[in-house]
């Protein structure tokens, strides 16, 4: 059984955490050989029991973001299925951004381990050996809170699209929508049903659209004769103008006036605007 770790996995400035399992019952000799093979190649070495980590998830809280390399499966490879989502979720916070995880497990296929590693936030999974299966995974290089990354927007493609539109305009293929308007379309219409001013300076009502009180016909006749229309002389074609506001159209010229009899001159009483107390 090889208890040592390949030296090419280390960097001189590495802070290493070795996670070992007591279920495999490593001997004292195996633990000593492991420590000697690691501590001379790295800046710091720490040993932790796997079962203690699974039993107490806060066991590594004091080492959050501290290590650059974690070794699992030394001095004895882990049993099949030991590399679980629960274990990796406890180990990942201990790594720095871009930190490495190297593990050994007695399995023949790495598909399940690869899936668990990816779900735990690791990337760049690679298989380093077989029998036992050894793998390497990393955390994203910018995993720290508050970091940012530039976004590459394809501005060239957007600019090219607008250049094509400008080229079509210069070729004269596009129609100028302003040329489709007639002078009558540009004239500002008089608002329907709103007060306007006649020649004498007195305000009067304009006939509304779809007029039913006869004012529109009177205005058309007056325009033909060059005369102004007195809205007070307009006759009702709907028969409801005399009944009061509850029966009148929304733009009826009699809105606001009290009910009256047909042909009767409307007179407002002196108390019309007084409050009813």
* DSSP codes, 67-108: EEEEEES-SSPBPTT-S-HHHHHHHGGGEEEEEEEEEEES-S
By residue count, the chain amounts to 277
**Residue 149 maps to a domain:** no
Domain membership of residue 202 (yes or no) is: no
pLDDT of residue 172: 61
Q: How many domains does the chain have?
A: 1
103 within 8 A of 88, measured Cβ to Cβ: no
Retrieve residue 59's tokens.
Answer: 């066991």
Asked if residue 67 lies in contact with residue 16, where contact means CB atoms within 8 angstroms, the answer is yes
The answer to whether the CB of 16 falls within 8 A of the CB of 71 is yes
- Helix or strand (DSSP H, E) at 48: strand 44-49
Q: Please indicate, yes or no, if residue 50 is contained in any of the structural domains.
A: yes
User: Which CATH number covers residue 57?
Assistant: 3.40.50.150
In angstroms and rounded to an integer, the radius of gyration of the C-alpha atoms of the chain is: 45
Quick one: pLDDT at residue 155? 61
Evaluate whether residue 135 is within a structural domain: yes
Enumerate the known binding-site residues for [4Fe-4S] cluster: 238, 241, 249, 252
Residue 244: what pLDDT?
A: 84
Binding-site entries: 192, 208, 211, 213, 238, 241, 249, 252
Q: Is residue 199 a part of any domain in this protein?
A: no
Q: For residue 100, is it within any domain?
A: yes
Residues that constitute the known binding site for [2Fe-2S] cluster:
192, 208, 211, 213
pLDDT value at residue 169: 60
Domain range enclosing 104? 12-139
pLDDT given at position 144: 53
The answer, yes or no, to whether the previous bond of 132 is cis (omega within 30 of 0) is yes
The whole-number pLDDT of residue 15 equals 93
Could you say which residues of the chain have pLDDT below 70?
Answer: 1, 142-149, 152-159, 165, 168-174, 190-205, 226-237, 266, 268, 272-273, 276-277
């Amino acid at each position: 059984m090889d208890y040592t770790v390949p030296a090419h996995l280390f960097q001189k400035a590495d802070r290493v955490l070795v996670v070992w399992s007591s279920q495999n019952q490593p001997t004292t000799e195996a633990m000593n050989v492991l420590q000697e093979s690691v501590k001379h190649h790295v800046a710091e070495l720490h040993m932790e029991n796997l079962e203690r980590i699974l039993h107490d998830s806060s066991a590594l809280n004091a080492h959050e973001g501290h290590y650059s390399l974690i070794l699992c499966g030394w001095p004895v490879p882990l049993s099949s299925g030991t590399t679980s989502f629960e274990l990796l979720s406890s180990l990942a916070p201990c790594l720095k951004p871009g930190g490495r995880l190297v593990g050994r497990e007695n399995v023949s296929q790495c598909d399940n381990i690869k899936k668990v590693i990816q779900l735990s936030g690791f990337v760049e999974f690679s298989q380093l050996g077989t029998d036992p299966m050894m793998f390497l995974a990393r955390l994203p290089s910018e995993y720290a809170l508050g970091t940012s990354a530039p976004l590459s927007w394809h501005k060239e493609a957007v600019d090219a699209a607008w250049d094509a539109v400008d080229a079509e305009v210069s070729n004269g293929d596009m129609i100028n929508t302003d040329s489709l308007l007639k002078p009558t379309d540009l004239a500002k219409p008089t608002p329907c049903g709103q007060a306007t001013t006649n020649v004498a300076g007195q305000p009067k009502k304009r006939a509304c659209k779809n007029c039913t009180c006869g004012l529109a016909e009177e205005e058309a006749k007056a325009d033909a004769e060059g005369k102004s229309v007195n809205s007070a002389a307009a006759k009702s074609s709907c028969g409801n103008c005399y009944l009061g506001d509850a029966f009148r159209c929304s733009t009826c010229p009699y809105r606001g006036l009290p009910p009256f009899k047909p042909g009767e001159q409307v007179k407002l009483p002196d108390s019309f605007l007084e409050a009813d107390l």
